[in-house]
Amino acid sequence: MTAPASESNAAQSSPLVEFRSATKWYGDVIGINDVTLTLGPGITGLLGPNGAGKTTLIKLLTGQLKPSLGEVLIRGKSARTAAARRHFGYCPEGDNFYEEMSGRQFVRTMARLHGLPPRAARERTEDTLAEVGMSDRASRGLSGYSKGMRQRIKLAQALVHRPEVLVVDEPLNGIDPVGRKELMELFRRLADRGQAVLVSSHILEEMDQMADRVVFMGRGRVLAVGTLPELRAMLAEQPLRIRVACRQQRELAARLVLWDLVLGIELSGDEEIHLQVSRPREFYERFARLVVEQSFDVGRLETTDATTEATFKYVMAAATRF
Amino acid sequence: MNESRSTFFACLALFWLTLRRQLRSRQTLICLALAVVVGLIVYAATWRPSVRPARLANNVFIPTFVAFLMPIFAVCYGASGFGSEREDRTLVYLLISSLPRPLAYLVKGLACQLLVAAWTVGTLWAYCRIAGAPGTELLPVFLRASLLGSLAYASLFLLVGAVFRHGTIISLVYWFFLEVLLGNLPGIVKRVSIAYYVRCVIYGFGEDLKIKAINEDMWVGISGPAATTALVALMAGLTLAGVVAFSRREYADVG
């Protein structure tokens, strides 16, 4: 095997994106602190409040910043190198373009800046514009585009060189519901093709529908990484809100109120009971036994806060204890 | 695709993009307007046919073209090379492209230098034509000095634009205080200015036409070849500094 070939194989076997104890300081202020993280194919949601370090993480990943300590690697190469940049496409949050161009010219220019020869750049531009649903409107000047159209063109420029990693900063801001759905479907298609899509967002509801896993950030640290069920299991000790519909509402409530697992109880209407419970897994086991033994007629049992939003709140609450 | 071939295409794309954007910018209008004004001054100064080359050089070409117009061309296209991208917040697209940063700086710099050189040579040629016979005599003397001077200025302002957020303003302030004020002081303090070396090249290679400093005792000049070497070295040094600065700098505010 030749040296370049073995080098290329080594690069292919390296993780797509790897943060190794990456730390970034801005003078006395810490941007991110000792972040170790690996990203693979699929959609990863990057969540966190303002100042959590999301933007710093993205700028380190896209090579705009260099880590004060540690390293950020894309396919085994430092994110600041041109070799690493071939592997990712970046859709920045800022809404800035070469405004004198049309959408098509802009995407083609970016294709050429990524080193595609003129003909290949033209073909890829058309393919990518079709993929983001902008083929028919791409000849218009960028300055006349709506927010949604600009977002799609930004995505097109990030995808035009077929990167393995797509980094998207707040992609759904200002997009109408139909556009959001289409973009989320596009991210899903890319992820299904084996691409890694890192989506930074504060719209947690959309992460619920879109992300295969989420990275929670707070105070410059990665607080939690995993799928939502994994995170839920990890946070099993956290109180959980549960809604129960039962014909024998008062009798059931009278039993439950005696349990030390039940932290709060509230009756609603004729049938509903809202519970706040600790150690949910244990609660479910005892609850199932009780229902069977006492023949309670339970019509519905559901958690009301197993969403990303709730998990996010828990994680952030946990973060304040660090 | 072969990596070096891909880099070549990316360089080509950046070169044409820079040329096209810079040419279509408001800087071109500013350069055009100022070039017309200086052209009118040259025309008025050479109205009488008896004007001698040395007098034309000292009274018209050096104060209007060398000391004013040439640095302005360099500020317009040099400082805005990276400055306009930073102001428009489009630099991010260059930073995430597949071009190595040192190469991106050199290619962008080359395009800007080409524009500055074209404006300098083009306007100098036009003014020499306007001035008639004495202008034609001055052309070879001023050509070398102007070309070297404008490229040295452009290298400096390109670096300023890459390093500072408000590169154009800083470049104009530099030009006024260091080049205009300090560059005209008596003694050796003026050696910190580019204008000094440009004028040394003019005086050094214009001896045959009797072009010399108005107050020669106060001038303390160096020879034409030495000044030429100084300008070339300055250009190379500033370009190298720019490459290093652009490659290492973190642009966190560009998008």
Contacts of B10 in chain A (CB under 8 A): 112-115
Is the pLDDT at B207 greater than 80? The verdict is yes
pLDDT at residue B78 tops 90: yes
Tens digits of residue pLDDT in A216-256: 888 888 988 888 777 766 666 667 788 899 999 999 999 99
Mutate to test the interface with A, among B97, B99, B107 (most CBs of A within 10 A): B97
Chain B residues with CB inside 8 Å of A63's CB? 95-96
| CA gap B158, B76 in Å, rounded | 10
Mutate to test the interface with A, among B9, B15, B99, B249 (most CBs of A within 10 A): B9
Of A64, A165, A170, which to mutate for an interface test with B (greatest number of B Cβ within 10 Å)?
A: A64
Average pLDDT over chain A reads 86
**Among the listed ranges A165-169, A182-186, A234-238, B108-112, which one has the minimum average pLDDT value?**
A234-238
Provide ipTM, 2 decimals: 0.87
pLDDT at A316: 63
Report CB contact under 8 Å: B92, A114. no
Using CA atoms, how far apart are residues A110 and A62, in angstroms rounded to an integer? Answer: 16
Range in A8-12, A197-201, A220-224, B158-162 the model is least confident about? A8-12
Rounded to the nearest integer, the mean pLDDT of chain B is: 91
Q: State whether residue B21 sits within 8 Å of chain A by CB.
A: yes
A63, B6: Cβ pair inside 8 Å? Answer: no
Those residues with Cβ within 8 angstroms of residue A171's Cβ, 6 or more apart along the chain or in another chain: A91, A151, A155, A183, A187, A199, A201
In this predicted model, which residue has the larger pLDDT, A205 or B209? B209
Interface contact A82-B101, CB threshold 8 A: yes
Task: Yes or no: say if A183 and A156 are a contact pair by the CB < 8 Å rule.
Answer: no
Q: What structural domains does chain A harbor?
A: 1-87+163-173+193-226 (3.40.50.300), 95-162 (no CATH), 233-319 (3.30.70)
pLDDT at A308 over 60: no
Lowest mean pLDDT among A106-120, B49-63, B69-83: B49-63
Nearest by Cα to A17 from A192, A151, A165 = A165
- The tens digit of pLDDT for each residue in B101-153 reads 999 999 999 999 999 999 999 999 999 999 988 899 999 999 999 999 999 99
pLDDT band at A1 (very low <50, low <70, confident <90, very high): very low
- Given this model, what pLDDT does residue A176 score? 80
CB contact under 8 A, B9 and A117: yes
Q: Which of chain A's residues have a Cβ under 8 Å away from the Cβ of B24?
A: 100
Interface touch A96/B24, C-beta < 8 Å: no
Q: Taking CB atoms and an 8 Å cutoff, what residues of chain A touch B8?
A: 115
pLDDT at A322: 45
Q: Which of B255, B187, B197, B189 is nearest to B225 (CA)?
A: B197
Which residues, numbered 66 to 85 in chain A, qualify as contacts with chain B under a Cβ-Cβ cut-off of 8 Å? 66, 81-83, 85
Q: What contacts 24+ positions apart, CB below 8 Å, involve A203-210?
A: A203/A172, A204/A47, A204/A307, A204/A308, A204/A309, A204/A312, A205/A307, A205/A308, A205/A309, A206/A172, A206/A180, A207/A45, A207/A47, A207/A308, A208/A307, A208/A308, A208/A309, A209/A184, A210/A43, A210/A45, A210/A184
Structure tokens at B84: 């306009």
Residue A11 pLDDT > 70: no
The whole-angstrom distance between residue A173's C-alpha and the CA centroid of its chain comes to: 14
- DSSP assignment string, B50-97: T--HHHHIIIIIIIIIIIIIHHHHHIIIIIHHHHHHHHHT-HHHHHTS
pLDDT over threshold 80, residue B87: yes
Q: What is the DSSP string of A64-111?
A: SS--SEEEEEETTEETTSHHHHTTEEEE-SS----TTSBHHHHHHHHH
Q: What's the Cα-to-Cα distance from A288 to each of A105, A271, A283, B62, B165, rounded to whole Å? A: 63, 18, 9, 96, 65
- Facing A110 at nearest CB: one of B12, B93, B255: B93
pLDDT band at A3; cut points 50, 70, 90: very low
For chain A, give percent helix, strand, coil, nearest 5.
40, 30, 30
pLDDT band at A317 (very low <50, low <70, confident <90, very high): low
Nearest to B98 among A59, A96, A114 (CB): A114
> Averaging pLDDT over each range in A270-284, A299-313, B71-85, B233-247, which range is the top one?
B233-247
Q: What percent of chain A has pLDDT over 90?
A: 51
Question: Could you give the count of Cα atoms lying within 13 Å of B148 in the half-sphere of its Cβ?
Answer: 27
How far is residue A209 from each of residues A43, A213, A230, measured CA to CA in Å? 11, 11, 16
Quick one: average pLDDT of B60-88?
Answer: 92
**Strands (DSSP E) along chain A, which ranges?**
17-26, 29-39, 42-47, 69-74, 77-78, 88-91, 165-169, 196-200, 213-218, 221-226, 240-246, 262-268, 272-277, 298-303
B92–A64 CB contact, under 8 Å: yes
Whether the per-residue pLDDT at B156 is higher than 50: the answer is yes
Distance separating alpha carbons of residues B93 and B89, to the nearest angstrom: 9
- In this prediction, residues A89-103 reach a mean pLDDT of 91
Chain B contacts in chain A segment 222-251 (CB below 8 A)? none
Residues B155/B78, Cβ–Cβ less than 8 Å: yes
Question: Which of A96, A100, A110 is most worth mutating to test chain B (most B CB atoms within 10 A of its CB)?
Answer: A96
Nearest alpha-carbon partner for B119 in B55, B25, B195, B184: B25
In the DSSP assignment, the letter for residue B207 is G
If one compares B230 and A318, the residue with the highest pLDDT of the two is B230
Residue with tokens 């300590």: A69
Mean pLDDT of A69-90: 93
pLDDT class of A318 with cuts at 50, 70, 90:
low
Residue type present at position B231? L
Instruction: Compare all CA atoms of chain A with the CA of B16 and give the residue at the minimum distance.
Output: A109
DSSP strand pairing (A221-226 vs A240-246): unpaired
User: What pTM, to 2 d.p., does this model score?
Assistant: 0.82
